[in-house]
Amino acid sequence: MKNSTGKLAAVEFCNFLLQSALLTPDSRLPTTLESVCPMKREYPETPLVGVGAIIIEENRVLLVKRGHPPLMGEWSIPGGVLEIGETLREAAIREAMEETGLQVEPSTLLGVFDRVLRDADERILYHYVLIDFLCRRISGEPRAGGDVDDVRWFSREEIATLSLAKDTAEVIERGFRETVRRNTV
């Protein structure tokens, strides 16, 4: 259980905890690795990969109001953290379904962004690498799901009134421009 430096590796330790829990006959104990060692979003040891689904229809973009940190209570692009074994496009499809109830088809990669948020002591509180795709609705009607409190279509004019991160507003605008370009070709 010790790595080359003599320290217990985090992954090995999590597996050890899970095996110990599974060997104990108590139904209240955790049964998955995630329940024993959940992903560390706050004060992470490594950056997390996040995907975003920019869904544009009839000159409007679908945004979600976050129900949990980071960005609790704020409007943002539907999306979340890439899961092990998923492709980026699969993650965009899953996150769009979980948060908006829409089945989507990702197309154009619109951008890759860094999102590093620091606490009052300048320690890294959150660190994401965000990968955003333009997506087309295949089916479904918008409904809030997962960790989302609300879901709503916004026009370009309404987007300008929201307090979005600069890179978020920019990637949404890229999505609008790409949608116009596709419809005129």
Identify whether 70 is preceded by a cis peptide bond (ω within 30 of 0).
yes
In this structure, the chain runs to a length of 185
Cα–Cα distance, 94 to 79 (Å, whole number): 9
Domain 48-184 has CATH 3.90.79.10: yes
- Residue pair 156/180 in contact (Cβ under 8 Å)? The answer is no
Q: Can you list the pairs that 10-18 forms with residues at least 24 positions away whose Cβ atoms lie under 8 Å? A: 10/37, 10/45, 13/37
pLDDT digits (tens, 9 = 90+) for 120-162: 999 999 999 999 999 999 999 999 998 899 999 999 999 999 9
Residue 31 pLDDT > 50: no
Average model confidence (pLDDT) across the chain: 84
Cα–Cα distance, 163 to 27 (Å, whole number): 46
Domain locations in the chain as residue ranges: 1-38, 48-184
The pLDDT, as a whole number, for residue 13 is 45
